[in-house]
């Protein structure tokens, strides 16, 4: 056999290959071995930006997420801030401390009060249940709660019902410009219209037999309020000797109670009773507007006549 000839068995010779230059696609080589010049390197793969795909263990790799316990204080801070903003501008919880609004509201109920709409100029309307700050002297002599620090803090941020001892909750019966009265044995009369209050006053209650009143003309930007449990409610009727003659300034109103949120078995909304939608309740307002409207109608022809004369001249 000549020197350098193959054995004829087709087995590769066990010796290093020699390369005289760049390899081509058809050049022989060992299977699975990288060809020189292809840019392949051993170790971690190189990223496009020059870093290495080493699973975050090398320089320039993705950082490990922060520990949950390190993130927790930030999450709590954001949650408390949001709760405070919601309580200040949107919705606040209040606890019912007495029986003055039975059976609509019972002692211990938690209601949610809409504080957003007043920011857009909304004012209390007839039939709404509203929360308001003590106008002055209404709660004199009443026992006041003594919450602990935690209760005060949770109340401050809105996670518990308000611990403010100077708030009351009643139903708006009349608004600025209305005339309201009630005689013993009769109904509440609003702007000359008797109100059928059977849908919301407590069963067995009379409209005002314990404290008749009126007629009373409600000043502008004030409201006349009464509890639904008439025989157990120290409302506007009982404070006529105070400044405002029993009425409450609109600016003292915190907001309208819209939902009974707790206990869950008593969950319900607090809509305006349909009796306040009856025709004629706005008669007093219409009467006040009528003279101005008539004056405008009378002045219009005079203005048009003067304009016509000036044009002709």
* Per-residue tokens: 177: 């410009």
Distance between CA 180 and CA 245 in Å, rounded? 13
| Cβ atoms < 10 Å from Cβ of 230 | 23
Q: Which of 100, 162, 205, 233 is catalytic?
A: 100
308 given a catalytic annotation: no
Produce one character per residue of 83-122: b if its CB has 16 or more CB atoms within 10 Å, e if not.
eeebbeeebbbbbbbbbbbbebbeeebbbbbbbeebeeee
Distance of CA 194 to the CA centre of its chain: 35
| Cβ atoms < 10 Å from Cβ of 160 | 17
7 given a catalytic annotation: no
What percent of the residues of the chain are helix, what percent strand, and what percent coil, each to the nearest 5?
25, 20, 55
Any residues with CB less than 8 A from the CB of 100 and at least 6 apart, and which?
Answer: 169, 170, 227, 228, 229, 232, 233, 234, 235
Q: Which of 87, 115, 163, 170 is catalytic?
A: 170
* Per-residue tokens: 308: 């016509």
Contact 109, 266 (CB under 8 A): yes
Active site residues: 100, 170
């Amino acid at each position: 056999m000549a020197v350098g000839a193959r054995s004829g068995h087709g087995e590769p010779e066990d010796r290093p290959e020699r390369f005289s230059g760049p390899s081509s696609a058809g050049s022989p080589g060992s299977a699975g071995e990288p060809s020189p010049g292809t840019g392949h390197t051993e170790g971690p793969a190189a990223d496009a930006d020059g870093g290495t795909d080493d699973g975050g263990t090398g320089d320039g790799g993705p950082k490990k997420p922060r520990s949950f316990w390190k993130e927790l204080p930030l999450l709590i801070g954001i949650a408390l801030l949001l709760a405070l903003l919601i309580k200040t501008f949107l919705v606040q919880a209040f606890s019912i401390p007495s029986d003055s609004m039975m059976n609509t509201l019972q002692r211990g109920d938690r209601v949610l009060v809409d504080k957003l709409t007043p920011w857009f100029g909304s004012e209390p309307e007839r039939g709404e249940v509203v929360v308001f700050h003590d106008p002055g002297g209404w709660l004199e002599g009443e026992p006041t709660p003594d919450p602990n620090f935690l209760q005060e803090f949770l109340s401050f941020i809105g996670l518990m019902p308000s611990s403010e001892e100077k708030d009351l909750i009643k139903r708006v019966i009349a608004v600025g410009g209305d005339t309201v009265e009630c005689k013993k044995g009769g109904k509440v009369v609003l702007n000359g219209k008797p109100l059928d209050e059977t849908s919301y006053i407590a069963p067995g209650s009379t409209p005002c037999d314990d404290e008749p009143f009126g007629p009373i003309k409600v000043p502008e930007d004030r409201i006349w309020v009464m509890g639904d449990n008439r025989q157990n409610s120290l409302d506007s009727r009982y404070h006529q000797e105070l400044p405002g003659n029993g009425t409450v300034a609109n600016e003292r109103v915190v907001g309208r109670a819209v939902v009974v949120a707790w206990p869950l078995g008593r969950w319900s909304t607090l809509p305006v009773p349909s009796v306040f939608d009856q025709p004629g309740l706005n008669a007093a307002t219409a009467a006040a507007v009528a003279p101005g409207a008539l004056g405008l109608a009378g002045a219009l022809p005079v203005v048009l006549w003067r304009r016509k004369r000036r044009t002709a001249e």
